[in-house]
Structure 1
């Protein structure tokens, strides 16, 4: 008999809305033609990987060394872990060594490993809203409880609200910057305030909540830099991947890096290695570990995303829809028209009548909003202009 818990989640209207929309889009494109369907459902980057990645793929594929495709240590190849340590040190501005890194199966795998490593049954993960739809499932996978916390009106962190949500069962605070779905980048001052508050809470209670930073969009920014955390808070950990910046989401390569100053570093890494094994990942895919070690620092041009961001904002202005202007990532967070009374599920279903596919905000703990993924063709964005206008007028 199927697990009741899983069955209830699967049958929930808000479960898997992004993937459902993506699959519906494929059907609509077959029916009406790809140029007449405006699919903004899924964050599937459509830029090709940089040439350095392509060259590394060819080089690694040509390697016929004995046991080239065999097992390696569960934590990953030593040279790949060392490369990720160099990468993280460059981003965080502090020295990082390879023993702080565990290679993982994408950022989703990395987050599941972190959560399994930290959570006891019934413990809580505090998450600012809105947030990536799968966070709920990831936390529930490991018998944890999600504590959603509202952000400010501009979707920046409300540190006082996060403080009020902390308690004896708090295992961690999970932040995602640039944020999916709002595109907000949490600034330096907010992170200083957040980490100061966490230190104060830890000193008072004897338990320092971990600060988990989910950063697959770190490099995709529009003039604003993502702040560091390792120099601010010892109990911090990065979970990330190369899915978005290098456009290889299907290759499932990412990593976890714990702050080298963390007092529990050795225990955390041992737990992460164990969890990587027992969750069934065993190890990050061997082939792309080798590829990433050679190409992680490939130069990327994200100006196309910035151009599309401006274009989709112009479409929303034309249609009379309000939105939060993104500072990074490739999503636009849009408010449903007032007449829909915050029923984002109904409004996104209404949009489908005009062959527009967007993800309802309820799946992101953002009732009354919807998400547009503009990592799609420029023509699709431009051609959607009249369809959005018509949908708003006729709604």
Structure 2
């Protein structure tokens, strides 16, 4: 499609466009989400953004007043706290349980009269876990109760850039069915392998309270934060696509090999359900020291869990050639044996 587009470009292909995004691109996004969740999302409820990171910054700038609080589930994508602080908000950290699922009791203890939102990331970076339907729907019920208690809106900010990278029949939960105040922030960077193209979006249900005010705020923030609009070229490509569903057999094959290599080396971990990360336990309490030794002595580059707010773990990516993963088999066994 990109080749066809550039060979016969439409008028104004590289010119200014609507800050909300091209109607055709927004229609494609709405159709994608409707097929994914069996829930209608309309073009007027979509704003195109510069990636999911851009989407989250736009959302937070739009909904937060100074010192409003946003709950961040730990472990977390490290940039969340900076996105929140960029919008003059306050990150409030809340641990996931040992299976990396939401503890409703823990979340309840973190909600105050200043709480404006909670960021949900599933499939989850860094753990590779998918939050269960029970987790998401129980959270929705809790947020409804807390909204009534504090007489204040609380948004579920749903960061979901890995929805097509799921394995073993584990399905994505429909967030729009779980709660009435969901702001969906995502991109096609990961599942379509377009990370450098920064093509993301924000979507809300048409029935969300203050729909037009929210959309107007997103459009305004998109411009004033300096993004202006998502890249026009890739929006034109999206507008030409009938569907965005992709097969992920290559990622599943890499996940399976990574699991095999780690099991053989006797690391303890939860098997990745979605995305392309895995989050094993460090064999020593000091995960930073473990990762330092891994790279210096065994040429294995991994990221300490401390950076994601969960010491004692480390993150690995299997978004790599199969030969690279296979090549890590012996070094990982040697690394694990080093700490026996």
TM range (shorter): over 0.9
Of 279, 288, 311 in structure 2, the residue corresponding to residue 367 of structure 1 is 311
- Which shows bigger deviation, 289-298 or 312-321? 289-298
Q: How does 1:83-232 map to 2 (within 5 A)?
A: 83-222=28-167, 223-232=169-178
Measured in 2, the distance between the counterparts of 1:241 and 1:380 equals 27
Given the alignment of the two structures, is residue 385 of structure 1 paired with residue 336 of structure 2, yes or no?
no
Structure with more relative contact order (C-alpha pairs < 8 Å, separation 6 or more): 1
Check conservation: 2:164, 2:245, Cα contact below 8 A: no
- Displacement of 1:296 in angstroms is 6.7
- Which shows bigger deviation, 127-136 or 276-285? 127-136
1:345 — aligned with what? 288
Measured in 1, the distance between the counterparts of 2:224 and 2:244 equals 33
Measured in 1, the distance between the counterparts of 2:39 and 2:245 equals 22
Gaps of 5+ in 1: 1-55
Measured in 2, the distance between the counterparts of 1:72 and 1:349 equals 47
- Displacement of 1:225 in angstroms is 0.4
2:207 — aligned with what? 261
2:240 — aligned with what? 294
Q: Which SS does the other structure have where 2:218 is aligned? A: helix
Measured in 2, the distance between the counterparts of 1:122 and 1:155 equals 28
- Displacement of 1:93 in angstroms is 2.4
Deviations 1:267-303 (A, max 9, x none): 1111100000001010100000011122372442212
Measured in 1, the distance between the counterparts of 2:307 and 2:276 equals 18
Check conservation: 2:278, 2:317, Cα contact below 8 A: yes
Measured in 2, the distance between the counterparts of 1:243 and 1:362 equals 26
Measured in 1, the distance between the counterparts of 2:324 and 2:39 equals 42
Measured in 2, the distance between the counterparts of 1:251 and 1:210 equals 28
Q: Which SS does the other structure have where 1:255 is aligned? A: strand
Q: Which SS does the other structure have where 2:93 is aligned? A: strand
Measured in 2, the distance between the counterparts of 1:325 and 1:123 equals 36
TM-score, with structure 1 as normaliser:
0.83
Deviations 1:241-287 (A, max 9, x none): 01111111100001000122111111111110000000101010000
Q: Which SS does the other structure have where 1:103 is aligned? A: strand
- Displacement of 1:363 in angstroms is 1.4
- Displacement of 1:232 in angstroms is 2.4
- Displacement of 1:92 in angstroms is 3.0
Given the alignment of the two structures, is residue 319 of structure 1 paired with residue 262 of structure 2, yes or no?
no
Gaps of 5+ in 2: none
Count of aligned positions: 337
Measured in 1, the distance between the counterparts of 2:3 and 2:131 equals 38
Check conservation: 2:186, 2:200, Cα contact below 8 A: yes
Q: How does 1:39-50 map to 2 (within 5 A)?
A: none
- Displacement of 1:113 in angstroms is 0.4
- Displacement of 1:325 in angstroms is 1.0
Check conservation: 2:306, 2:312, Cα contact below 8 A: yes
- Displacement of 1:203 in angstroms is 1.7
